[in-house]
Structure 1
Amino acid sequence: MPGGIFRVCLVVITAFVNHPLLFPKDNVTILENTDEVIQKMKEREENLRMEQLKLEQEIAMQEALAKSSEQATESEKQYDHDFLPWNLWTALSMMVFLLIEFWRQDYQEANWPDYANEEDEINVLGKAVKGAILPEKVILANFHERCLQTVTSDIARNRELVEGFADDLLEALRSVCNRDADMEVEESIGIGSMYENWRAHKPLACDFIVPFTPPAPYCFQFETWCSGESVAPDKQGCGMIKISWADEDSTGCICDKTKLGEDLLCLLHSKMNPLKQNNHVEDLLCYKDTRYLDANQVMTWFQVALTKAWNKISHKYEFSLTFNHIDVPGALKIKFKSGKTIVFNLTPVVQYADSDVYFISQFQSSNVSEEPTSSIHWFLTFAVCEKRYIQFVSKTLPANSCHLSCLQILSFLHGKQCSLTGPSGLTNYHLKTVMLHLLQIHPRMDWAPGFLDARLKDMLKYLEKSLQEKRLYHFFIGNKNLPEELGIPVGLQRAEPLNLFRPFVLQRSAYRKTMDTFHEMLKNTAALINEYTMHVPNGRGIPLNKDLL
């Protein structure tokens, strides 16, 4: 029997040592291949089951020998002496595995962060930021006004030119499309840093989304990840768009309730309807043999339509228009005869549930960097909600508040560091998400212009904490503390929080690169700011605001 106890101990110790979440390789993440983790866990479970079966058989044999033995009393005492420790070890083993399982569930499905304790956690985890030497408040203000506000002042001129041309281009696109068979394009909507006034880099690229709808009598139906019981992690934040007949489920027509005679014809639901007879639904940019909208076909259609539209109106303009990126059909570049260029992006989207949330096939450089798992899976973008929320909050903050200045400085520093050491896993969308979270944590008066250095340090601490935990929640998905004016669909607010840093859990090399870039940025912050401030002519500088001194 001592051998059985030893085996149980060995099984428990092996489970602890080999558990991928308790002792991950390199102490940074779990195995890169999720399927491999699941397979190994199944194999360990089967091994544990076999060990338990052997132990039960051994106990049964010893119990039979004890009953048949002549020394019944001594055997019974020995049995009780061994059986009690066996029960004890079995109970302890079950408790250990249950605790591991509960901890794993908490690790994978964390709840929305508790903002009451958020500042304490930031102060504990932000060790690298504490050790970094950041510029003083006056130097930061001088750098922002001399180096970054000059970028902001150019935005209005570029935006006005591009908006007018984009409207003309889309109007020409509508005229070249077949209204009975092609998608119907609506007015464009400006999004991103250019429309939120924190753009920090040139070229000044305007981002537009272009909603489109199917021709009558079709409509879109949506299937999101939060409507299913179990969804793979890589499909969270995605959805599928199904094209259906607008009256497919209708029972209001009299022909659905009454048998019409042979000489009577329903003009709405005629069996001779040529579109329905030819199964035209599948021809509307759907994936093969399905009714789900195919992002690749949508992009091809949009690129062809833009080319036809430009050919129709090109004689009106004294510049050329080309595609800036072959793989991104809506990335366009205007080139003047003088050599000056202006870039902008037109991205087709589908509106979700009459809200400011849209389905988008791919994000631009200022947004999330992941790609959909297949061409029928579309991302949800909250770009319009983000713009509206920043405008909403700005009205409640002090005059000349520093929230956008902090984001602009942080975006500039990260961009310059990436130009030195190569791209990292961080994007401007992550940085903006950090700012949105901090806007909910700090009181309004903490964003006065005199707190520029303090709030910038808070953003760096929050970013460091999120990187260390590999957890940065999407600001809108699962956040129940949003103002009703935004009109976020209830299903998205009640969904499980979406971790934007989930790829770092599996991609160890990308995580190391991102952490290295972040730490290098902290070390170089003072040098970068001093260098760029020195090379800006004094004549371009704007006098410092006295409130910042």
Structure 2
Amino acid sequence: MPAGIFRVCLVVITAIVNHPLLFPKENATVPEDTEEIIQRMKEREENLRLEQLRLEQEMAGQESIQKALEEAPKLEEKLEEDALRWDLWSAMSMVVFLLIELWRQDFQDGNWQDWAGEEDDMAILGKAFKGVALPNKATLANFYERCIVGVTGEMARMREMVEGFADDLLEALRSVCNRDADMEVEECIGVGSMYENWRVRKPYVCDLIVPFTPPEPYRFRSQVWCSGDSIPPDKQGYGTIKVCRRDEDVAGCICDKTKLGEDMLCLLHSQASQTRHNSEREDLLCFNNTQYLDADQVMKWFQIAITKAWNRISHKYEFDLTFSLLDSPGALKIKFRSGKSIAFNITPVVQCEDSDVYFISHFPRSGLTADPSSNTYWFLTFAVYERRFIHSLSKTLPANACHLSCLQILSFLHEKQCSLSGPSGLTNYHLKTAMLHLLQTRPHQDWAPENLEARLQDMLKFLEKSLQEKKLCHFFIGNRKVPEELGFPGIFQKAEPLNLFRSFVLHRDIYQKTVDTFHEMLRNTSALINEYTVHVPIEHTNGLHKESL
């Protein structure tokens, strides 16, 4: 800026000095042509004016640059203040959204899977169901009488036969095992549709679970995803089983977690004892150099033990026993000489603390197994509580209640549809879960036998809505309304609900196939029922139906 002022002053001084009237030159003579001189002066004056304007513009530009430089820190501070204000608003928005989400979850816990209050939403969501005309009561009664009722007596005889043979087989297994080094098996427990009296699919298969425990002085310590242990977030519904000594601290010694140097020795444990404990745990079916039970090793141990037990008692029976599925630990098949066969499953499980929840490594026929990338994660099964809930609730429902009839009809229809259009992601366990939800939300009198058609419609609508939302909550996990008389563990009751349709969110192709199969089943419901129905007079049908239920 000072340089610009100096240049302006220099131009003005030069103009003054060179002005001919103020400083005339010596020996100069006045030109004869005065007009020409005046014209030159005007031109020079114009040039000087233009130069002055240019200099003023240059000075103004420098002043604006200087001003911008001076205001830059203030602008930066203002931008920082705006950014801070924006971050504050973003944080407040996130807090508001988080509070809304927490309120929504609390509201869900308070009205857990409360389908009875969502009939208005169902009227909008059940678009596919609107065009479905279910058969009338008489046709449903005929269908139930012909296809389902006759299986009850056959299932009872099969359960009795399988349980007797399983008890004999497990007793032989105990005799061939080393009580001081091998796992100890307990009495078998019947679970699933055969023991809940709603299975309709043939061949009938009994599902038995067998708890086992480690030999002295070891014990199993359960670690589930909702207990705060180190279980990954994607393992909701899973847990691990730690093999500990009974006199061992739960936290364990630090030498189990740290590699000690050659010149260092734990004051409580010697290196020799550590090596011995590791080799013992390998014998106790633990995963590589860890304290966690390995599902694959358990499966191999159980199959070998079953084979030894059968070799000991095979001479007592006039049939053969084989493994029907090699990737399932106790999928067995009895083959008679006549050619007939009976399939059943004996699956080893681990009790979760002092409850009737069990860790299970394989689900027979369902394809559900522990994570293939790690054999230390076991799925939790609540089958014992499910059976107990159904049996206890049946005592409070009307005589000949239709809840199991609805489940049997729906299971039958879904199986027939899958035989036509291929396998579906919807399983019988999903159908049973829908029935359990409706049993808890519907008044008991609504399950009278004459309401079979209406309750079947409710189950279909409930499933359609769940498929559209890709959400079907596990009945027990996160359900605060489980009856206290069941003795259900509070840790699972207070946990976040487990979405059984979570896989549909990750696998769109399976989800689309499941939805298409379900909608196809809705359209074919009348045809499927009529195909398997014997047409008899309505009066006679109603009588048969009431007696059979």
What residue in structure 1 maps to residue 180 of structure 2? Answer: 180
Corresponding residue for residue 379 of structure 2: 379
Does the 8 A contact of 1:402 with 1:451 survive in 2?
yes
- Separation in structure 2 between the aligned mates of residue 548 and residue 182 of structure 1, nearest angstrom: 49
Moved more, 392-401 or 102-111: 102-111
TM-score computed with the length of structure 2 as normaliser:
0.76
Does the 8 Å CA contact 1:398/1:445 hold for their aligned counterparts? yes
Q: Distance in 2 between matches of 1:80 and 1:65?
A: 20
Pick which of 369-378 and 422-431 moved more: 369-378
Residue pair 2:281, 2:291 contacting (<8 A) in 1 also: yes
**What's the offset of the Cα at 1:68?**
2.0
Instruction: Give the TM-score of the pair, scaled to structure 1.
Output: 0.76
Structure 1 residues 260-275: aligned runs within 5 Å: none
3-state SS of the aligned residue for 1:149? coil
- Using the alignment, how far apart are the partners of 2:284 and 2:78 within structure 1? 76
Is residue 158 of structure 2 the alignment partner of residue 161 of structure 1?
no
Call closer, same or farther: CA 1:497–1:297 in 2, change over 3 Å.
Answer: same
Match in the other structure for 1:347: 347
Matches within 5 A, 1:9-28: none
SS at match of 1:356: coil
The one-character-per-residue Cα deviations of 1:185-229 (angstroms, maximum 9, x if unpaired) are 000000100000000111010000000000111101011000227
* C-alpha distance in structure 2 between counterparts of 1:289 and 1:363, whole Å: 27
Cα distance, 1:362 vs structure 2:
1.4
Partner of 1:213: 213
Partners of 1:485 and 1:275 in 2: CA distance = 47
Deviation, 1:506, is 0.9
Letter in 2 for 1:461: K
Q: Which residue of 1 aligns with 2:477?
A: 477
Letter of the 1:327 partner, please give it: D
Residue identity in the other structure for 1:428: N
CA distance in 1, matches of 2:231, 2:122: 31
Q: Which residue of 2 aligns with 1:236?
A: 236
- Which segments of 5 or more consecutive residues in structure 1 lack a partner in the other structure? 1-63, 251-268
- C-alpha change, 1:315 and 1:114, in structure 2 (3 Å) is closer
Q: CA deviation at 1:275?
A: 10
Give secondary structure in 2 for the equivalent of 1:303. helix
CA–CA distance in 2 between the matches of 1:517 and 1:191? Answer: 28
Question: Which residue number in structure 1 is paired with residue 445 of structure 2?
Answer: 445
Give the Cα–Cα distance (whole angstroms) in 1 for the partners of residues 87 and 272 of structure 2.
Answer: 72
Partner of 1:68: 67
Query: 1:358 maps to what in 2?
Result: 358
CA distance in 1, matches of 2:510, 2:417: 16
What residue number does 1:117 align with? 117
Give the Cα separation in 2 of the matches to 1:287 and 1:271.
Answer: 20
Question: Shift in Å at residue 354 of structure 1?
Answer: 1.3
Is the Cα–Cα contact under 8 Å of residues 148 and 408 in structure 1 kept in the other structure? yes
Farther-moved stretch of structure 1 (184-193 vs 90-99): 90-99
Structure 2 CA distance for aligned equivalents of residues 464 and 333 of structure 1: 36
Q: Name the aligned partner's letter for residue 351 of structure 1.
A: Q
1:220, 1:243 within 8 Å by CA — same for their partners in 2?
A: yes
Q: 1:143-175, CA deviations, whole angstroms, 9 ceiling, x for partnerless residues?
A: 111111112221011111111111111111111
Percent of matched pairs sharing the same residue: 62
Q: Is the 8 A contact 1:186 1:211 kept in 2?
A: yes
Shift of residue 136, structure 1, vs aligned partner: 1.0
Number of corresponding residues: 461
Distance in 2, matches of 1:542 and 1:202, equals 27
**Equivalent in the alignment of 1:327:** 327
Alignment partner, residue 139 of structure 1: 139
> Partner amino acid for 1:326?
L
Query: Which has the greater radius of gyration?
Result: 2
Matches of 1:520 and 1:204, distance apart in 2: 26
C-alpha displacement of 1:69: 5.1
Distance 1:506 1:478 in 2: 22
**How far apart, CA to CA, are the structure 1 residues paired with 2:408 and 2:395?**
19
**Aligned position for 2:419:** 419
Deviation at 1:88, TM superposition (A): 9.3
Q: Match of 1:340, as an amino acid?
A: K
Separation (CA, whole Å) in 2 of partners of 1:83 and 1:178: 74
Q: How does 1:462-541 map to 2 (within 5 A)?
A: 462-534=462-534
Q: Is the 8 A contact 1:184 1:215 kept in 2?
A: yes
Three-state SS of the structure 1 residue aligned to 2:135 is coil
**Counterpart for residue 53 of structure 1:** none
Which structure 2 segments of 5+ residues have no match?
Answer: 1-62, 251-268
Q: CA deviation at 1:347?
A: 0.2
Kindly state the Cα deviation for residue 409 of structure 1 after the two structures are TM-superposed.
0.5
2:330 partner SS: strand
Q: Quick check: 1:138–1:548 contact (8 Å CA) kept in 2? A: no
What RMSD, in angstroms, separates the aligned Cα atoms of the two structures? 3.7
Distance change >3 Å, CA 147–CA 119, structure 1 → 2: same
Q: Work out the CA distance in 1 between the residues paired with 2:515 and 2:233.
A: 23
1:401 aligns with 401
Separation (CA, whole Å) in 2 of partners of 1:528 and 1:167 = 40
- For residues 284-306 of structure 1, the C-alpha deviation after alignment (integer angstroms, 9 at most, x for no partner) is 00000101000000000000000
Secondary structure of 1:436's aligned partner: helix
CA change 1:375–1:333 in 2 (3 A) is: same
State the alpha-carbon separation in 1 of the partners of residues 290 and 272 from structure 2: 23
Cα drift, residue 121 of structure 1: 3.3
CA distance in 1, matches of 2:65, 2:460: 69
Partner residue, 1:25: none
Q: In 2, are the aligned partners of 1:66 and 1:79 still within 8 Å (CA)?
A: no
Q: Map Cα deviations across residues 69-123 of structure 1 (whole Å, 9 max, x no partner).
A: 5999xx9xx9999999999988887777777777888999994435263444334
Contact persistence 1:372–1:379 (CA under 8 A)? no
Residues 175 and 548 of structure 1: is their aligned pair in 2 closer, same or farther, counting only changes over 3 Å?
closer
